[in-house]
Structure 1
Amino acid sequence: MGKHVIPCIILFSFLIPTITSFATSWAYPFVVWDGSIYVVSDEYITQIHKEIGEVTMYSDMEQYSGNFSNVYEKGTKYYSIEGISTDKAIAIQENNGKFKKAIREAAYTYEEISAAPTIGLMILSLIILTSIYFVKNRINK
């Protein structure tokens, strides 16, 4: 039984990093709208034009596609600002009814990653480690 412990420990030490999820560290509060990321400023504005969308996914740990935010909950409304193109800035309605300006920074290029490569990597690791284990046992005999 003891001779199987070391290969199991080695196997799990390779697999654990592929199984765990990694938390994201955000540099600033943002919203994503219409394929662009907007950095939320401290500036409150009153010149609201019309509703243009809302947060469809919130997370302070992971990235998502769609109208995603790392600070505002699902359902938070986005508005265009009177006299300012949405290519430059939008307004975010806060819970207190006030509107914060969010300035467009860049295109949001996040793509969701399928679990298939992770599962494939786990299977490949298992095959390699099993092969190493059996080869080592044959050499030692």
Structure 2
Amino acid sequence: MNKLIISILSFLLLISCSNEPKENKAAKEKNNTSSTGIGSFAFPYIKWNNSIYTITDTPAEEVDKPLGEITNYSTTETGETLDNSSNFYQVGTKLWSINNIDSSQEIAVETGQNQYIKAIVTKDE
């Protein structure tokens, strides 16, 4: 009898701990986005100057000149990716060149005051 009660209580505990609130499930299904904010894309990206850049964790230490900013944000794949867009960074995020590095290969993304990370080109369109 004790085994049965312990089994039932364990089962109920597992169910109550593993269930996600229905509101969260409905919102995720409606938006079809992951918690990272990149939707169904394979990786967080920036498109600038007709090239796709993969965002890295590598700090960009010596930025040079401002290149522009993100003007389009979308986590929905539409087939055509607009220039100056990202599926990770919001509109207004500043893009910079990096000292002694060709911007067609790497750019810097401003992530905070005097904080930058590198984005590396993965595809030219």
Equivalent residue, structure 1, for 2:107: 90
Does residue 65 (structure 1) correspond to residue 106 (structure 2)? The answer is no
Q: Which has the higher helix share?
A: 1
Q: Post-superposition shift, 1:66?
A: 2.0
Other structure's SS at 2:89 match: coil
The whole-number CA distance in structure 2 between the counterparts of 1:39 and 1:91 is 11
State which of 41, 56, 75 in structure 2 corresponds to 1:26.
41
How many angstroms apart in 2 are the aligned matches of 1:99 and 1:84? 15
1:1-141 → structure 2 map (5 Å cutoff): 25-63=40-78, 64-95=81-112, 97-108=114-125
Identity, % of aligned positions:
34
The two structures have a TM-score, normalised by structure 2, of 0.63
Deviations 1:64-122 (A, max 9, x none): 412110000001000000010011100000135410100011124xxxxxxxxxxxxxx
The unaligned stretches of length 5 or more in structure 1 are 1-21, 109-141
- Richer in strand (by share): 2
- Asked if the contact 2:46–2:87 (Cα under 8 Å) also holds between the matched residues in 1, the reply is yes
What is the Cα-based RMSD across aligned positions, in Å?
2.1
Deviations 1:10-47, CA, capped at 9 Å, x for gaps: xxxxxxxxxxxx87511111101011000001101211
Structure 1 counterpart of 2:102, one-letter code: S
Of 59-68 and 31-40, more deviation after overlay is shown by: 59-68
Give unmatched runs, 5+ long, in structure 2.
1-31, 34-38
Secondary structure of the equivalent of 1:94? strand
Distance 2:96 2:106 in 1: 10
Alignment CA distance shift 1:86-1:60 (3 Å)? same
